[in-house]
Copies of this chain bind each other. A is one copy, B any other.
Amino acid sequence: MAEEPVRFAIIGCAVIARKVSRAIELSPNSILYAIGSRSIDKSRKFVKDNGLSDAIKFYGSYEEVLDDASVDAVYMPLPTSLHVQWAILAAKKKKHLLLEKPTALNVAELDQILEACESNGVQFMDGSMWLHHPRSDKMKALLSDTTIWSDHFEPPEFYESNIRVRPDLDALGALGDVGWYCIGAILWAKNYELPKTVTALPSVTKNKDGVILACGSSFQWTETKQVATFYCSFLSNVSMDLAIYGTNGSIRLRDFIIPYSESSASFDFTTGAKFLDRHIGWNVKPANVEVASELPQEALMVQEFAKLVKKVKNSESRPERKWGDISRKNQIVLDAVKKSIDLGFKPVELC
């Protein structure tokens, strides 16, 4: 039996949908089957503007997409406030769900979405593309090594993660749009161990409507004395820095959310740095570690998602819960940052 590709529909013609529509076409185990928007003209225009196949169906409402029995999975880049409504309906209609981040306005909403996916047996994943780049695996392998984390030091580990970004991806506040990635990278580096305390930096910039334009936070893990900070802003030049500092090494990159180029990405790696005699220089300079990628990271994300969907379709396994768990922890921490800001930058205890 020939391998049949997973048939995707896109619900909502956001800017980011242009990137993901291409990723769905690039991924070898998926095809773009339908586009749904609030008007059929918008859907038609999206197909035309992006040079997509004439065979792609377009719909003038989200409901029609979800009622099309040929659609296996939906990619949903709707505004965050609409997620809970449409994601739950998609799950009820047995559509596997690739949901753009931030996943929801708060963890209570996300839990409703995850519960709908669970009870309807559909796969969930959020749209954090960078996690799927092989560079992330390479960095994680180095991080898991005692090359960076000394087993012998007291406190045994130490790291500081620092990220700033300013994409123009969404009309949402900087915390939801950009902070999502910052929080995700910190949790990723910590193997998803939630911090004990979340304390927003005592400075937040909002526009006249109260939308966060810039904010930051620090996280503390009490036992290991580890610390992470992030700052995210819509107001500075585009930056996507991630720096992780361990007892014996450090990793730094400047394009962690969107690599500078598609075919390969790199990071800097320093280990065992010392000063030369008389402190007039260093014994090492950062090494640049290059990691090739056969497909753009967004296509790798679609491929991974479609692989899981096929396993569910073929009754080989239940949906993989890992991705929902990751999204949920991201959302819990994001909620805590927002709460700390709302409380006047007071610490919020998590666990």
0/1 interface trace, chain A 236-263, chain B, CB 8 Å (1 if under): 1111010101111110101100111110
Chain B residues near A243: list those with CB within 8 A. Answer: 164, 241
Would B282 and A260 count as touching, CB distance under 8 A?
Answer: yes
Question: Min CB distance, A249 to chain B, in Å?
Answer: 5
A181 within 8 A of B: no
In Å, the complex CA distance between A2 and B257 comes to 61
| A252 lies within 8 A of B250 (CB) | no
Cα A237 to Cα B296 with chains together (Å): 33
Binds B, one of A30-38, A184-192, A196-204, A301-309: A196-204
For A22, the chain B residues whose CB sits under 8 A away are 278, 280
User: Is A318 an interface residue, CB under 8 A from the partner?
Assistant: no
Roughly how many angstroms separate A252 CA and B241 CA in the complex, as a whole number?
Answer: 10
Q: Interface residues of A, CB < 8 Å — how many?
A: 70
Q: Given A216-B227, A220-B203, A225-B205, do A275 and B167 touch, yes or no (CB 8 Å)? A: yes
Q: Which residues of B contact A252 (CB under 8 A)?
A: 241, 254
Interface status of A19 (Cβ within 8 A of chain B) = yes
| Complex interface bits, A14-32 against B, C-beta within 8 A gives 1, otherwise 0 | 0110110010000000000
The answer on a CB contact under 8 Å between A202 and B218 is yes
Query: Which B-chain residue is minimally distant from A259 (CB atoms)?
Result: B281
Judge if A330 is at the interface, Cβ distance under 8 Å: no
| A164 and B155 contacting across the interface, CB-CB below 8 Å | no
Question: How far is A274 from B255 in the complex, measured between Cα atoms in Å?
Answer: 12
Task: Fill in one digit per residue for A115-158: 1 if any B CB lies within 8 Å of its CB, else 0.
Answer: 00000000000000000000000000000000010000101001
Cα-based distance from A238 to B246 in the complex (angstroms): 9
Task: Please give, as numbers and ranges, the residues of chain B lying within 8 Å of A153 by CB-CB distance.
Answer: 235
Chain A 296-337 residues near chain B, CB threshold 8 A: 296, 298
Q: Which residues of B contact A279 (CB under 8 A)?
A: 15-16, 19, 167, 169, 258
Contact with B along A195-234 (1 / 0, CB 8 A): 0010101110100000000101010100001010101010
- Asked if A270 contacts B160 (CB within 8 A), the reply is no
A45 touches B (CB below 8 Å): no
Partner of A281, one of B201, B220, B258: B258
Digitize A74-113: 1 where CB-to-B-CB distance is under 8 Å, 0 elsewhere. 0000000000000000000000000000000000000000
Verify B245–A236 contact, CB threshold 8 A.
yes
Q: Is A273 an interface residue (CB 8 A)?
A: yes
Q: Name 6 interchain pairs, CB-CB below 8 A, sorted by A.
A: A167-B279, A237-B249, A238-B275, A241-B243, A254-B286, A258-B281
Q: Using a CB–CB distance below 8 Å, which chain A residues touch chain B?
A: 15-16, 18-19, 22, 148, 153, 155, 158-160, 162, 164, 167-169, 197, 199, 201-203, 205, 214, 216, 218, 220, 225, 227, 229, 231, 233, 235-239, 241, 243, 245-250, 252, 254-255, 258-262, 268, 270-275, 278-282, 285-286, 296, 298, 345, 347
